[in-house]
Amino acid sequence: MKYDLELQVAIEAVKKASTLCSKVQSSLVSEETITKKDKSPVTVADFGAQTIICHELSKAFPDDKVVAEENSQELQTEHGALVTQKIYEYVSDILPEINQEEIHSIIDKGNHDGGPLGRFWTLDPIDGTKGFLRGEQYAVALALIEEGKVVLGILGCPNLTKDLNNTDSTKGLIFSAITGEGASVQYIEEDSQDRIEVSDIEHPSDAPFCESVESAHSSHGDSEKIADILGVKAEPIRIDSQCKYAVIARGDASIYLRLPTRKDYQEKIWDHAAGSIIVKEAGGKVTDTAGKNLDFSQGRTLSNNTGVVGTNGELHDLVVSAVIEVLNSKRR
């Protein structure tokens, strides 16, 4: 099958990165968190996961470029040297072949600009850093883009359980999809995969929707108005990271709303590439808030799109109409 090798390498890399993240999450101390200019927390796990995945990808596919969220700039300080030491300790436990001196250059393999041509990977080593720091949901998100189109996506979700409501059951899932081949889930610890499909809900009143925990990342006020228009009865399911896409892809929820909180914000490709192909291959639909396809050919951001709407497909047109109604009413 096309992309078989890519899938195998990407799943193994995401497994290793997820293991590192779980270890760091269970031993979080404040020293491991440094502050980026935009104040979002960056952790040893973030850089460690990027090191592992960039290294594994360049071993298997030396010519492939990577568009990743992090770069080594903030590690070039005195405090950064301490953080680099910590990253090395965690990484070398999993990949003993890596030297401490290589860590920065491996992280900077993720500096590609993306764009419409050729093939590159996009990586969010820890999507949902806020959830990670709260001890809640986060995802390791990796996707392959060819000529501006997402062709493969993997989401490592170390804290997600098969049954969303039974948080005592076995944690740690990997979702994956290849274009035209459907979507699957497996436990991080295992290799056997199960197919997943979106819900078959036809009426929005029966459709649970999900959104960000952080109201700065998606307007909770607007989603409430949209839910009212659609007659959605259930309370919103709030989850950090692209775990939201996973929850739609396996049918726990049928609507994902990401509604702009600022005019100037451009969504990042690594925040949506893996999740969107997994939802589409599970039978769902993903567009922006105007109903336009997400355009991954514009560089590091989705500069042709505003916000995101994901659904089980069946409900898509109805949901997009309600979204347009609410967003237009604010412009008047």
Nearest residue to 115 (alpha-carbon basis) of 298, 278, 330, 331:
298
Q: Cα separation of 268 and 227, whole Å?
A: 26
In eight-state DSSP terms, residue 225 is H
Residue 139 or 196 having the CB closest to ligand AMP? 139
Both tokens of 261, joined, read: 């909180």
What is the distance between the alpha carbons of residues 229 and 71, in angstroms, rounded to a whole number?
A: 43
Shortest separation between residue 4's beta carbon and ligand AMP, angstroms: 29
Q: How far is the CB of 84 from Mg ion (least distance, A)?
A: 22
Return the exposure string of 132-150: e unless at least 16 CB atoms fall within 10 Å of the residue's CB, then b: bbeebbbbbbbbbbeeeeb
Nearest to ligand AMP of 244, 314 (CB atom): 244
- Considering the complex, what minimum distance in angstroms separates the CB of residue 245 from Mg ion? 12
Q: Select 56 or 127, whichever has its Cβ closest to ligand AMP.
A: 127
Residue 33, beta-bridge partner list: 43
Q: Does 127 bind Mg ion (CB under 5 A)?
A: yes
Q: Which of 43, 46, 124, 222 is catalytic?
A: 46
Based on the residue annotation, tell me whether 46 is a catalytic residue of this protein: yes
Residue 217's Cβ-side half-sphere holds a number of Cα atoms within 13 Å equal to 22
Q: From the list Mg ion, ligand AMP, none, pick the one residue 265 interacts with, judged by a Cβ distance below 5 to 8 Å according to partner type.
A: ligand AMP
d(CA 50, CA 163): 29
Active-site residue, 129 included:
yes
Nearer to Mg ion, 159 or 312 (CB): 159
Kindly name the residue from 19, 51, 129, 311 that is annotated as catalytic.
Answer: 129
Binding status of residue 267 toward Mg ion by CB under 5 A: no
What are the residues binding ligand AMP (CB under 6 A)?
Answer: 127-128, 212, 214, 216-217, 240-241, 261-262, 265, 268, 271
At 250, is the secondary structure helix, strand, or coil? coil
Quick note: the x/- pattern for Mg ion over 219-238, rule CB under 5 A, is: --------------------
Phi, psi of 103 (to 5 degrees): -55, -50
Tell me the HSE value of 134 on the side-chain side, using a 13 A CA sphere: 12
Q: How far is the CB of 300 from ligand AMP (least distance, A)?
A: 11
**Residues of this chain that bind Mg ion (CB under 5 A):** 124, 127, 271
Active-site residues: which are they? 46, 129
